[in-house]
Amino acid sequence: MNTLPQIVFEDNHLIVAVKQPGVLSQADGSDSPDMLTLLKQDIKIRYNKPGEVFLGLVHLLDQPVGGLMVFARTSKAASRLSQQVRDHQFAKIYLAVVQGRPIHDRGTLQDNLLQDAATRQVRVVQAGSGQTASLDYYVISQRPEINLALLAIHLHTGRGHQIRVQLASRGWPVVNDYRYGSGAKNDRKADIALMAAGLGFSHPISRQWMQFSSCPPQNEPWTAFPAVDYSDVFKYFTKPL
């Protein structure tokens, strides 16, 4: 697995980089590579920095999920970007290939989610318990002959495993999601067909709106949709915030 982060944008205040599937967002005490450590090492080498490198983690991606992440290079940038996340002024667009197809071409999913403390498995529960979770989806393309659909997803909340659980609960599991209902559990070589494809936020210093899109890998099941233009994944939602 190639764990080296691909840097999409960098200035004195922040870094936008692509996390590879299987890489942690931050260290968890295991030997698994993580983005925070990898980027700190990269900065230290490229800029010949002595001592500890500061890099602030603004948001997380589940370990199996690849895609865009932003990191803060100063404490001021970290504080301001984190505030945007809390104020829901931080846009996150995902792409997913799912089995089946939603009845409607677009819609909103709202659920309450609860995580089992022992297994870390997340499930949909009745209103009044758990945490609220909300997302919008848009069906970009479908392949009914192979029972696949390509969705763009705009998150309103950032709960752990949220997209995977909400889609699976409707009968649209993400392809190669071995935890929540798609893919052979004895063959985990294929990456989950879910990626963080779009990030939008205000620059923490200039306040200028910044928007980034990333293309999915050129492998199955993404190659089932060769005609899709991924240059602007925000176009599927009229209000990305």
CATH classification of the domain holding 199: 3.30.2350.10
Domain tally, the chain: 1
Which pTM value belongs to this model? 0.92
The pLDDT score that the predictor gives to residue 238 is 74
The pLDDT score that the predictor gives to residue 4 is 78
Strand partners, 70: 16
The pLDDT score that the predictor gives to residue 2 is 66
Asked if residue 1 belongs to a domain, the reply is: no
Asked if residue 83 belongs to a domain, the reply is: yes
Residue 186 CA: distances (Å) to CA of 130, 179, 182, 231: 31, 12, 12, 35
Asked if residue 241 belongs to a domain, the reply is: no
CA 30 to chain centre: 22
Domain span at 189: 6-236
Q: What is the 3-state secondary structure (H, E, C) of the chain?
A: CCCCCEEEEECCCEEEEEECCCCECCCCCCCCCEHHHHHHHHHHHHCCCCCCCCCEECCCCCCCCEEEEEEECCHHHHHHHHHHHHCCCCEEEEEEEEECCCCCCEEEEEEEEEECCCCCCEEEECCCCCEEEEEEEEEEEEEHHHCEEEEEEEECCCCCCHHHHHHHHCCCCECCCCCCCCCCCCCCCCCCCEEEEEEEEECCCCCCEEEEECCCCCCCCHHHCCCCCCCCHHHHCCCCC
CA-nearest of 75, 35, 94 to 213 is 94
Asked if residue 222 belongs to a domain, the reply is: yes
Cβ neighbours of 87 (radius 10 Å): 9
Structure tokens at 129: 């318990």
The pLDDT score that the predictor gives to residue 128 is 84
Asked if residue 35 belongs to a domain, the reply is: yes
How confident is the prediction along the chain (241 residues), in pLDDT tens digits per residue? 667 789 999 999 999 999 999 999 999 989 899 999 999 999 999 999 998 999 999 999 999 999 999 999 999 999 999 999 999 999 999 999 999 989 999 999 999 999 998 998 999 999 888 999 999 999 999 999 999 999 999 999 989 899 999 999 999 999 999 999 865 554 567 899 999 999 999 999 999 999 999 999 999 999 999 999 999 999 999 765 5
Separation between Cα atoms, residue 108 and residue 104, nearest integer Å: 10
The pLDDT score that the predictor gives to residue 186 is 47
